[in-house]
Structure formats: C-alpha cells, structure tokens
Amino acid sequence: MPEDSQPVDGRFADSMRRPRPPFRSALIRDQRVLDVLDELYERERHINWETYAHHPDPHHHTGTGFSLSPEQGDQLHLLVRYGRAHTVLEFATSLGFSTLFLAAALKAAGQGMVYTAELVPEKAQQARENIARAGLEDYVTLLEGDARDTLASVPEPIDFALIDGWAPTVSLDVLKVIEPKLRAGALVYNENRDPEFLDYVQEPGSGYVNLPLLSGSAFKPQGELSLRL
C-alpha cells in the first residue's frame, strides 16, 4: 500500500474546507520566495473545498498541495532560524509550500539542508521547479519515494523535523525512522496532530515534551510541537 493511501480524517477534511485569506508572510523578505509562495497559495485559495474529492490515494491529487497555513509556515521558519538548525527534515514535500519556508530560513542563516520526502512523482517534479524558481535549490535535497525508506538516509544529527503527511499512521512510522537521529533538543512539528503520533510522544517516558502550537490561523489553528529530550 502506498505510504499515504489512507482516508483523510474528519479534522483534516474540515480544516481544508475553511475559507483561506490571501497569502502573506510576516518574516520572509526574499522576493523570489514570496512570489512563488504567493502563486501557490493563490491557486489553492480558489479551490472549492466543499466539492473537492478527497480521494484517499495521494496520486489523485497531483496538482493540490494541501498546504499548511502561512502563519504556521512563518512559525516554522522562525523556529529553524532561532534554533540555528543545520539539518532539517520534512515529510511530505507535496508542491513545496513548507519546504520553501524551511529552506528560506536556512538561506537566511547561510547554512544547512532540508531533506524532504515525496511519494508522488508528479508532485516531486513540481516541487523541484518551485524550489528552483524561489532560488532555494542549494538548500534542499528532495528524496522521491516512500518516506519510510528514503528518510533513513538523512545524515545525523537532525535538528528540526516537520511531519505533515496524508496518512496518520505513517506520521508515526516516519518519526520512528528518524528518531535515532534526532539530537537532544531537536524539535518535531506534527502539523495534523495525528492521534497515533500524539499517543506516542505524549506517553510517559517517551523522551519528548510536547505542547500544541497555536498558529493564529482559522484555517489550521494548531499543530503539535515536540522537543526531544
């Protein structure tokens, strides 16, 4: 079964149907990055989410990004810059929305690499093009294929990880793949607050401390931020 080929849960589907405001970033100043993000968000802003067919197979959504909110993107950008992250991991790339926020933070710092995994070849190609148009190709390594396989090759230590996949159970699978490479103090952000993921990181003795991170966005109000002890 493909890594993301499970039904979308109700929380995720409901959030995707909420109206989206025009894109803006409070932090990014690079105009090339802003132009690409604006184009991507504007395209998704005009999708009719009430009638959109949420097919469980990600290969049916080659042109749709299912993006995090711009407010979430800014928060992740700030966390990466503040933490002086060098090795950043992302699951999944999709069209490159969050990749651009993460890579822009590394470019601003002048160091680091985002290792991002995408299952769907058509999406991987679009993401490569978007990353190149934003001038961030030197800060991104895109790994095409099942993230549970491809992310095993990411060098350690990992400083920051964004886990934002389609299938809730795969979010936890990915965490377990990368967990041995997370440095003490590494941050992991689970964008969808997947139940299996939350049960794992919130278990006493899990080796994480956790809190919901409020985004300030009505579209996607919060994710889960976990710090590796």
SS3 content of the chain, % helix, strand, coil (to 5): 40, 20, 40
Looking at residue 14, its pLDDT comes to 53
Q: Compute the average pLDDT of residues 163-187.
A: 94
On whether the CB atoms of residues 115 and 141 are closer than 8 A, the answer is yes
- CB burial readout 39-63, b (16+ within 10 A) else e: ebbeebeebebeeeebeeebeebee
Looking at residue 51, its pLDDT comes to 81
Q: Compute the average pLDDT of residues 46-72.
A: 78
Phi, psi of 167 (to 5 degrees): -100, 125
CA nearest 104: which of 29, 196, 157?
Answer: 29
For the chain, percent of residues with pLDDT exceeding 70: 89
Tokens at residue 225, please?
A: 């931020």
Please tell me the number of Cα atoms within 13 Å of 185 on its side-chain side: 7
Looking at residue 17, its pLDDT comes to 54
pLDDT band per the 50, 70, 90 thresholds, residue 12: very low
CA nearest 110: which of 142, 138, 130?
Answer: 138
pTM of the model: 0.90
User: If you search the block for the tokens 């490569």, which residue do you land on?
Assistant: 128
Residue 181 makes CB contacts below 8 A (sequence gap 6+) with 154, 155, 156, 157, 158
pLDDT band per the 50, 70, 90 thresholds, residue 60: low
pLDDT band per the 50, 70, 90 thresholds, residue 168: confident
What is the maximum alpha-carbon separation in the chain? 45
Q: Is the pLDDT of residue 63 over 60?
A: yes
Looking at residue 53, its pLDDT comes to 79
Looking at residue 5, its pLDDT comes to 37
Per-residue model confidence as pLDDT tens digits over 106-159: 999 999 999 999 999 999 999 999 999 999 999 999 999 999 999 999 999 999
Looking at residue 18, its pLDDT comes to 59
Looking at residue 198, its pLDDT comes to 97
Q: Is the pLDDT of residue 11 over 90?
A: no
12-21, 29-38, 114-123, 217-226: the lowest-pLDDT one: 12-21
Task: State the virtual CA torsion across 2, 39, 160, 135 in degrees, nearest 10.
Answer: 110
